[in-house]
Amino acid sequence: MEGEGFGYGAEREKEVGNGNGNGSSAKENKVTLVNGEQLSELVDSGVFDIAAYANSYAQTTSSVRATRLEFIAQLIGQTVAAGSVAGTGKASWTATLGGVRREALLAALGDVKATTYDVARGRRIAAQLGQGADEGDGREGDGDALGEWVAAAARAAHSTRDRLDAELKAYKANLIKESIRLAHLELAAHCAKCGDLASALKTYSRSRDFCSTPRHVQDMCLLVVHVSLLLLNYPSVLSYVVKAESTPDAAGASAPTATANQNQPAVSANQSQGPDRQLFQAKLKLYAALVHLDAAHYSQALAALLAITVSPDVFSLWNEVVSAADVAHLIVVLGLATLSRADLHSKILLSPQVRAFIDLTPDPALLHSTILAAFYSAQYSTALTALASLKQILLLDLYLNPHVDALMKLIRRRAVVLYIEPFDVVDLPRMATAFVCHVDAIEKEVVGLIQEGAILARVDSHNKILRVNKSTSDENHARSTLFSKTLQMGREYTEQSNFLLLRASMTRQDMYIQPPPSNDGLGGNLHHDALAGAFAEFQQQQQQQQQHLRDKRGGFFERFGLS
């Protein structure tokens, strides 16, 4: 089920809905609603806990965690509303999900109030609390407390902006390049803290003119990339990722200096103390993977994630955008959807790096043993059933949600093709049992794959049998091509051998082609005459050599009547 696209922040909503003239190509993706009953079961069983989910992300001034929490709240709200309209919403799971939604909104509002001056966003989240606010939460639900925070945040934002503008003007007047750069970074961070991401992006970009070292350029690129991602400006993300990778002396990359780092949206102060080259490259690979994921380039997204070489423990220290568990989920789902069985085994199952990321998920055995190992061992029903239970967790991911259904279809399609591949004849009832579905459903699915050209086979609907056409498969086509080339080479060899034998026989018989007579007196072709003269000279030399051989061998050819 799909819901309407929605924004998760004031500036984000503005960017998606109207555009801002900054070259943003953000598009409003359709979100896929969760299954309310299944998600409620996961919540009741403790598999999904909104507090633990929130704690897996860092609380920063960019409020990425608040964005994720607000996304989950809106997703659950649309799911409950859709269930109510359709008459499928049961009181049991609607009450459970309503509690999860309220808890997510309260946590998001707490993040916004604690780390930002984004007054509009705080008011919007408070309004979404709806009935929960009327019941009196005692903290965020209290209107007076919210009003006090709004007034204090507005005063602080205004005074800080005036101070930063004055400092920037003073530095520009004194032409202090490094101070101007740091002032731009502080001003951009303040804009992001106030929720004005468009102004933050412009100010970060302006600081590039005052960068004096490769390290400064790389820091600026990471900050621009982060804000562009919040704005869903994926072309800008990819552009600055390429710039950061192409900047020399990447080993010296680090987060911005402490003076400009107090309110940074991209790199927190407690995480900026000298990150090494691997962590710097891991950030770039992660941003590139999210860009490819948005464009549905799943193979490129997986390649970028597999290129992350930093330890998952170190990667977990930088958990502003995604967590280590999110990386593991992305690798598993994208790997099943795009890799062959051999690559799945070598690049994922046998990879200690991937296994380390999987071990940081709430349920490592589910991903590694129940899904990956089962899929590789052709236990497709086990793998697909486990994926179906994991699907509700994947739908809660801000960046993965629009692609979950497409990826699940690709995984099932690959499973069906791999199941059929070894056989000449497949019994459809047994195949339906293996995939836990009805015979008619698996028959319809197989017919669709035949029409798409994914498999070469015919369906016997009467006997419920699938006959695979091996003679026209790719492997047999390659084999027949090899045989054809071999036979052609044999024919060419025979023709060349016959030609050589004919030439040898003609030489023994002193047979040759007489050149045409010259027409010098009638204005003949001089070029033709030159060729004829050369041929006559060559013929004379051949006759002399043959005569010499006859004399030497004692008239061997004459005695046998071959002259």
Model pLDDT, residue 327: 94
Query: So where are the chain's domains?
Result: 33-175, 423-472, 473-508, 516-563
∠ CA 354-360-365, rounded to 5°: 80
In whole angstroms, give the CA distance from residue 75 to residue 79.
6
Q: Report, in this order, helix, strand and coil percent for the chain, each rounded to 5.
A: 70, 5, 25
- On whether the CB atoms of residues 183 and 171 are closer than 8 A, the answer is yes
Residue 250 has pLDDT above 80, yes or no: no
- On whether the CB atoms of residues 305 and 285 are closer than 8 A, the answer is yes
176 or 290: which leads in pLDDT? 290
pLDDT one-digit tens code per residue, 290-309: 999 999 999 999 999 999 98
Give the pLDDT mean for 398-409: 94
- Count CB atoms within 10 A of the CB of residue 201: 28
Residue 80 has pLDDT above 60, yes or no: yes
Name the pLDDT band for 2 (thresholds 50, 70, 90): low
Structure tokens at 165: 């503008």
pLDDT one-digit tens code per residue, 455-469: 888 999 899 999 988
Give the pLDDT mean for 73-95: 76
Share of the chain above pLDDT 90, in %: 48
Name the pLDDT band for 88 (thresholds 50, 70, 90): low
In whole angstroms, give the CA distance from residue 325 to residue 530.
85
Segments of 390-442 assigned E as strands: 425-427
480 or 328: which leads in pLDDT? 328
In whole angstroms, give the CA distance from residue 131 to residue 121.
18
∠ CA 69-70-73, rounded to 5°: 90
2: enclosing H helix or E strand: strand 2-3
In whole angstroms, give the CA distance from residue 421 to residue 389.
27
**What phi and psi values does residue 198 have, to the nearest 5 degrees?**
-65, -45
Name the pLDDT band for 276 (thresholds 50, 70, 90): low
Model pLDDT, residue 270: 37
87 or 170: which leads in pLDDT? 170
Record: fold of 423-472: Arc Repressor Mutant, subunit A (1.10.10)
Model pLDDT, residue 358: 93
379-404 core/surface letters (b: 16 or more CB in 10 A; e: else): ebebbbbbbebbbbbbbbbbbbbbbb
Model pLDDT, residue 20: 37
Closest CA to 96 of 138, 135, 39: 39
Closest CA to 110 of 130, 133, 139: 139
Residue 441 has pLDDT above 70, yes or no: yes
Residue appearing with tokens 């468009």: 198
In whole angstroms, give the CA distance from residue 203 to residue 260.
13
Model pLDDT, residue 142: 58
The 3-state secondary structure of 486-529 reads HHHHHHHHHHHHHHHHHHHHHHHCCCCCCCCCCCHHHCCCHHHH
| Bridge partners of residue 284, in order along the sequence | none
Mean of pLDDT over the chain: 81
Closest CA to 179 of 205, 151, 147, 212: 212
142: enclosing H helix or E strand: none
Model pLDDT, residue 297: 96
* Torsion sign over Cα 294, 296, 297, 299: positive
Model pLDDT, residue 82: 81
Residue 310 has pLDDT above 60, yes or no: yes
510 or 271: which leads in pLDDT? 510
